[in-house]
A = this chain, B = another copy of it.
Amino acid sequence: MADDPLGPLAGILGLRVRLAHGAIQRHFAENFAQVDLTQKQISLLWLVGEQPGVAQADLARRLQMDRATTMALVHQLERRALIARARSRADARRIGLTLTDAGDTALGHAREAVAQHEAWLRGRFTDREVRQLSEMLTRIFDA
């Protein structure tokens, strides 16, 4: 504790969450650049793949993002022709998203990268610890 590099900040839980997050982001960016997708983009693609026709507002809620933030993500992926949009006939306000063939292929590669990345992350924990950690983290954003 005395020689913790965080010094007086050692007891601050929020900082530890931030540093863990940063380390995870860095590892992914450095090791999976060839995927050419961020973790955020992959999350969105994945959800669209699992639920074709899903609307932006639903994705925003599930991933805890602002609507405008979601829009930016969707634009990126649409410009790269990984997702397609089609207005809903049931509710003309909503625009359903689907994966293109290229999007499906890209998601496949991305999922492999995520699997390797998760293995790197989980490698430092027992299965029981992973469950505990996961559950505790959920209490933070699920409250």
Q: Which residues of A contact B (CB under 8 A)?
A: 5-9, 12-25, 28, 39, 43, 46-47, 50-51, 61-64, 114, 117-118, 121-122, 124-125, 129-130, 132-134, 136-141, 143
Contact = CB atoms under 8 A, between A and B. Distances in A.
A13 B12 CA distance: 21
B19 A18 contact: no
Contacts of A132: 132, 136
Interface of chain A, helix or strand or loop or mixed? helix
Contacts of A16: 133-134, 137-138, 141
A141 B23 contact: yes
Given A18-B24, A47-B7, A12 B64 contact: no
A39 B130 CA distance: 27
B125 A19 contact: no
Contacts of A14: 24, 28, 39, 114, 117-118, 121
A107 to B, nearest CB: 11
Contacts of A121: 13-14, 140
Contacts of A12: 114, 118
Nearest to A22: B64
A17 B133 CA distance: 9
A12 B62 CA distance: 14
